[in-house]
């Protein structure tokens, strides 16, 4: 039973060695993907006995996860744990995540940060809840913490999951892809620290959230185009037709031509038509992909 921990890292020189050393108590091997760091992340990872994959420039978390999953498959890992390199998650919680896979045949275990946790800043709680809701719409499942990077994966999950997103949207994409392929997913409570004595985020939270939202909107539109594009398109076209009929009736009765009503009619009709066309195209693409997969 080969257990491997995978750590995507970008400028984590202050905490990475400690995370690796503590993680090695619970796994057989630690692999770090240094995603274009400009500090000593790679050197300190190697000195702490980790295998290091280097990206020449910063490509994003999704790109790092692709490299880590590829390496895990090549090494023949039976179970993989992903943990951040900033020290927020406790490696001592790794056995909690491994247990459902080893004992109950789950494929993915998410480290849930929200149970009895009052330390998370309010803005992060709100942001994560919004992202969780969007991810759950796309996956048609109900997870409490879709953005947690502390997870465990079975060999089946690692061999089955496809990651296309290069950025922070990868965490959500993995769950959406896994649920569509029928993988068994559960959550386990983990401890998270927000005061580690160093900077715990290498990206502005606003741009981070915007990147994830953008990826989720794309995934939702592709997976459910008729529901989230087709229905709004029909509603907008109906509104446009109502305004058009009202404008024509008003003109016939009073000879008054309402420019605002005309603009609303034309605008909503065109936007609705655009949504409908996009829904049809995405639905056709989605059907084609399902047939070839």
Sequence ranges of the domains in the chain = 3-223, 225-292
Cβ-based burial of 5 (10 A; exposed 0-12, middle 13-18, buried ≥19) = buried
Looking at residue 92, its pLDDT comes to: 97
Looking at residue 90, its pLDDT comes to: 96
Q: Are 105 and 182 in contact (CB under 8 A)?
A: no
Give the torsion sign (CA, 151, 155, 161, 165): positive
Q: Round to whole Å and give the CA distance between 165 and 215.
A: 8
Matching residue, tokens 């080969």: 2
Looking at residue 159, its pLDDT comes to: 95
The CA-CA-CA angle for residues 189, 193, 194, to 5°, reads: 130
Looking at residue 127, its pLDDT comes to: 61
- Tokens coding 83: 């943990």
Looking at residue 121, its pLDDT comes to: 57
Looking at residue 137, its pLDDT comes to: 61
- Tokens coding 99: 């247990």
Looking at residue 226, its pLDDT comes to: 79
pLDDT one digit per residue (tens) for the chain, 293 residues: 899 999 999 999 999 999 999 999 999 999 999 999 999 999 999 999 999 999 999 999 999 999 999 999 999 999 999 999 999 999 999 999 999 999 999 999 999 987 655 555 555 556 656 666 666 665 566 777 888 899 999 999 999 999 988 888 888 889 888 988 899 999 999 998 877 655 555 555 566 566 566 666 666 666 777 777 888 899 999 999 999 999 999 999 998 989 999 999 999 999 999 988 888 887 776 666 556 55
Instruction: Tell which CATH architecture fits domain 3-223.
Output: Alpha-Beta Complex (3.90)
Closest CA to 213 of 171, 162, 249, 159: 171
Residue ranges with strand state E in 12-150: 29-35, 51-55, 79-82, 108-112
Looking at residue 120, its pLDDT comes to: 58
- Tokens coding 85: 């390199």
């Amino acid at each position: 039973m080969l257990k491997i921990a995978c750590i995507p890292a970008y400028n984590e020189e202050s905490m990475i060695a400690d995370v690796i050393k503590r993680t090695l108590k619970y796994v057989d091997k630690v692999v770090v993907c240094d995603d274009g760091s400009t500090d000593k992340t790679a050197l300190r990872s190697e000195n702490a006995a980790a295998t290091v994959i280097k990206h020449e420039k910063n490509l994003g978390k999704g790109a790092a996860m692709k490299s880590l999953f590829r390496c895990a498959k090549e090494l023949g890992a039976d179970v993989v744990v992903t943990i951040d390199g900033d020290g927020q998650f406790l490696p001592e919680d790794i056995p909690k995540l491994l247990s459902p896979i080893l004992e109950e045949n789950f494929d993915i275990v998410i480290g849930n940060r929200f149970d009895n946790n009052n330390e998370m800043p309010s803005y992060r709680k709100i942001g994560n809840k919004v992202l969780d809701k969007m991810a759950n719409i796309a996956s048609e499942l109900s997870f409490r913490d879709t953005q947690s990077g502390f997870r465990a994966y079975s060999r089946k999950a690692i061999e089955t999951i496809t990651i296309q997103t290069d950025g922070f949207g990868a965490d959500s994409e993995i769950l959406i892809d896994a649920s569509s392929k029928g993988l068994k997913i559960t959550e386990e409570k983990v401890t998270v620290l927000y005061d580690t004595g160093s900077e715990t985020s290498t990206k502005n939270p606003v741009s981070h959230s915007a990147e994830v939202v953008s990826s989720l909107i794309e995934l939702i539109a592709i997976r459910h185009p008729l529901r989230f594009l087709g229905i709004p398109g029909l509603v907008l076209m109906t509104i446009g037709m109502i305004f058009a009929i009202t404008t024509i009736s008003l003109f016939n009765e009073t000879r008054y031509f309402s420019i605002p009503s005309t603009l609303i009619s034309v605008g909503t009709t065109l936007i609705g038509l655009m949504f409908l066309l996009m829904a049809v195209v995405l639905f056709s693409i989605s059907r084609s992909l399902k047939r070839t997969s």
